[in-house]
Amino acid sequence: MKIHYLDNNATTRMDDEVLKAMMPYMTDNYANASGVYSFGQDARKAVEDARAVTAKFFNADDPREIIFTSGGTESDNIAIRGAALANAAKGKHIITSAIEHHAVLNVCKALEKEGYEVTYLPVDKYGVVNPDDVKKAIRPDTVLISIMAANNETGSIQPVAEIGAIAREQKIIFHTDAVQAAGKYPIDVKAMNADLVSISAHKFYGPKGVGALYIRKGVKVSAIMQGGHHENRKRPGTENVPGIVGLAKACSVAMDSFKNPKAHEKVKMLRDKLQAGIFEKIPEVILNGHPENRTENTLNVSVKFIEGEGMLIQMDFEGICASSGSACTSGSLDPSHVLLAMGLDHGTAHGSIRFSLSKYTTQEDIDAVLKALPPAVEKLRNMSPFWKNRVTA
């Protein structure tokens, strides 16, 4: 069956160019980048060239400000735990938001058990953090502020530049999880006033199992794993050379795409078509996330009176891949913490479905959804006790 893949916030298809860049390092150029011989130095060069490209992607001054990790989760863990531990002398209060990814939230929760205090800021109905709330939450012992750049479930873009400016003024370390922003719009550590920025390659046409963390010069971060002296002693382990090369290629593909934003415009255009089509064809739907200030590829809606899973499975029968809540917590019974934080009730949160497009998404994919979703909704609503009650009421 033809697959209509609309779950690109979960993961993306690798760009052919990325795979092509990686191939030599998975075949002939297999050396360990720590080897002293030329063959190893070639691998070292590949890693350091990748670091330079990645630094550019972040608009960082110095490639040494980049470390490579095993993914967004590890980048977030190093950033938050690493900065919290290294700067504990300053204080043990952390500010984050209720809508962060679990890779941020659960590190914060673990730190709470270890004597840290964490403020989880609320969001407005669009799922956006208010910089004023950040300002109000700051205490003398606040050591770290971590607010994501764009949310994975709703796509809502956060005012990180303002928040970063507040943090900078107060000399508080500012981390932003830019996993969902990377590749969609330029990431600029200077404009964001960010000290720590996480990305994950597989979210923007790069390989799985590799990520990066920007660590501003002078910002102290402890390693969370111990071993060899790799990655500026911040992240031990034999370098994943193909992965790192792939991440850098994904960065350079993205930088090119920002220069000629046609592909981005197409994604947004298709996303808007999908949105319009759903609202036209299905009654009682609400948009989750900011109507405008949202990543170009994300559409999250709640279809009232039914639950997401049934829709997903029904769509799967037609080859459509979408998600409900974030992929990494599926199997969990709780509705999305992000939607609940936005004020949705349990039922409506349970009825959410997320479509996330990519540069490979076609009109055909959109048409497939607009064909499959309305009957799926009808089927599920017809067996929902709430739907009937509502209509007959």
Partner 1 sequence: MKYSEKVMERFKNLKNMGRIENADGIGKVGNAKCGDVMWIYIKVDNGIITDCKFETFGCVAAIATSSQATDLIKGMTVEKALEVTNKSIVEMLDGLPPEKLHCSVLAEDGIKRAIEDYNRKKQGLPPLPEKEDDGHDHGHEGEEE
- The catalytic residues are 328
Q: Edge-to-edge strands of the sheet including 352-356? A: 285-288, 298-303, 352-356
Residue 391's binding partner among ligand PLP, its own copies, partner 1, none (Cβ under 5 to 8 angstroms by kind) is none
Position 136 contacts partner 1 (CB under 8 A): no
The span from the CA of 144 to the CA of 384, in Å, is 45
The span from the CA of 39 to the CA of 45, in Å, is 10
User: Binding residue for partner 1 (CB under 8 A) from 7, 76, 307, 365?
Assistant: 307
Position 7 contacts ligand PLP (CB under 6 A): no
Position 238 contacts its own copies (CB under 8 A): yes
Q: How many CA atoms lie within 13 A of 177 on its CB side?
A: 28
* Minimum distance from residue 280 beta carbon to ligand PLP (Å): 29
User: Binding residue for partner 1 (CB under 8 A) from 226, 333, 364, 391?
Assistant: 333
Which range in 175-183, 186-194, 245-253, 274-282 contacts ligand PLP by CB under 6 A?
Answer: 175-183
User: Binding residue for its own copies (CB under 8 A) from 65, 162, 195, 239?
Assistant: 239
Position 125 contacts partner 1 (CB under 8 A): no
Position 305 contacts partner 1 (CB under 8 A): yes
The span from the CA of 353 to the CA of 322, in Å, is 7
Per-residue binder mask for ligand PLP (CB under 6 A), 289-328, x = binder: ---------------------------------------x
Q: Which residues bind partner 1 (CB under 8 A)?
A: 36, 41, 44-45, 304-307, 309-310, 313-314, 317, 330-335, 345-348, 350, 379-380, 382-386, 388-390
